[in-house]
Amino acid sequence: MNGLERLAAGQSLAIVGLISGTSVDGIDAVLAEISGAPGRPEVRQLAFITVPYREDGRREILAVSGGDSRTAPELSRLDHAIGDAFGEAAVRVLSEAGKTVADLDLVGSHGQTIFHDPSCGETWQVGEPSRIAAATGAVVVSDFRRADMAVGGQGAPLVPLFDALVFRREDCGRVLVNIGGIANLTVLPAGAGTADVFAFDTGPGNVLIDEFLRHATKGRQTFDDGGRLAASGKVDEELLAGFMEHPYFYEKPPKSTGREVFGAGFVALTLGEWVRGGERLEDLVATLTEFTALSITESIKVYVAPRAEITEVLVSGGGIHNKTLMKRLDEELDGMRVTSLETFGFSSDAKEALAFALLARETVAGRPGNVVGATGADRPVVLGTVTVPPSAVGA
């Protein structure tokens, strides 16, 4: 039995999941033990870390994803450098759990998105998988989005399969909201099968707040710690109303977005309003925080509530640390229980990395990883590219 056949037949696998999102804060790495039947996996989180990017590396990623031109050699070096960084993160999370590469069965790496435009069927995640395979000695599944886009999907969101398999309930309708750089949600109607699940990106998560502060303070402040600035500011209702008229919010799901829509251009507009209006920094942060909250809650009210009765909203991602944002979600979603994913034994920051660990298992087992109600694909397909480690050649 070769390595891939062994993985496909594995009852319990130790899998590292890796991702860096649109916030480009660093690499989230999780080690999970995944076992159980295909339709009801048991996922146990063993360790989770975030490895920050070096500042020069982060600046380069933001420059490229923001549209700055680079030569082929420069892009190649970036791809390899991120692959090396992902490989190092995988080894470090193993060490955090008291494990070594000898204990590892599989790696699922989302990589770092530098371009995503579903309108033209294009996406690009860098982080060369052969570098990760060489560092860990394990099979690596990567480049998850392209197969879905090849059959008409948006290539995002891909976390819904994890949500559906792990969190669906017979007696309770749930929405799982992940607030990373971009915010997305998965809807699990009570008693739903995977075919009944739908999901979409709601719009900005932390990206606008973080990038506005980074530019306005010239790098002295990169996020609103605990939502304190927003809590002390006053929302500019006129500016907020203009933000809420963005055409993305009128698009019906399935849909996905990224920094191409809610990124540098949007932040430049906000900075311009700040300079012209003479408002306090806190007021603009409060306005962006309210915008983020309402873009999420209005998405639930307009696109979810008419299709499913929802009892619980489970929130994950960096946004859970913003108390002002969480308070506004709770206030706007009156009648729904809003809680953190922490209450279910998972780190809220680890969910997307856990999802790609599970998706890697699905790939090596030959099972589809996309949810067509989330991505809009024509059909379910097996996702990802499989890279065998150099040590396995000729084995």
- State the residue for tokens 């649109």: 22
Residues 226-235: what's their mean pLDDT? 97
Residues 72-101: what's their mean pLDDT? 97
Question: What angle separates helix 281-299 from helix 323-332, to the nearest 10 degrees?
Answer: 40
Q: Which domains does the chain have, with CATH numbers?
A: 3-155+349-392 (3.30.420.40), 160-347 (3.30.420.40)
Residue 242 confidence (pLDDT): 93
Q: What is the C-alpha end-to-end distance of the chain, expressed in Å? A: 11
Residue 189 has pLDDT above 60, yes or no: yes
The sign of the dihedral angle between the CA atoms of 263, 298, 157, 159 is: positive
Give percent of the chain above pLDDT 90: 77
Residue 3 confidence (pLDDT): 63
| CA nearest to 101, candidates 64, 136, 139, 151 | 136
pLDDT confidence band for 243 (50 / 70 / 90): very high
Contacts of 134 (CB under 8 A, 6+ apart): 87, 389, 390
Across the chain, mean pLDDT equals: 92
Residues 214-226: what's their mean pLDDT? 92
Residues 152-163: what's their mean pLDDT? 93
Residues 215-243: what's their mean pLDDT? 94
Residue 289 confidence (pLDDT): 98
- How do the residues of the chain divide into helix, strand and coil, expressed in percent and rounded to 5? 45, 20, 30
The sign of the dihedral angle between the CA atoms of 10, 85, 74, 150 is: positive
Residues 208-219: what's their mean pLDDT? 92
Residues 203-222: what's their mean pLDDT? 92
Measured distance CA(17)–CA(10) in Å, rounded: 17
132-136, 289-293, 314-318, 382-386: range with lowest mean pLDDT: 314-318
Residues 19-27: what's their mean pLDDT? 88
Residue 7 has pLDDT above 80, yes or no: no
Tell me if the bond preceding 157 is cis, omega within 30° of 0: yes
| CA nearest to 50, candidates 99, 16, 112, 93 | 93
Pick 332 or 8 by higher pLDDT: 332
121 close to 77: Cβ distance less than 8 angstroms: no
389 close to 137: Cβ distance less than 8 angstroms: yes
Contacts of 86 (CB under 8 A, 6+ apart): 18, 20, 27, 109, 111, 127, 131, 132
Residue 149 has pLDDT above 60, yes or no: yes
pLDDT confidence band for 343 (50 / 70 / 90): confident
Phi, psi at 173, each rounded to 5°: -80, 135
Residue 272 confidence (pLDDT): 83
Residue 278 confidence (pLDDT): 76
**Cα-to-chain-centroid distance, residue 242:** 27
Residue 1 has pLDDT above 50, yes or no: no
Residue 392 has pLDDT above 70, yes or no: no
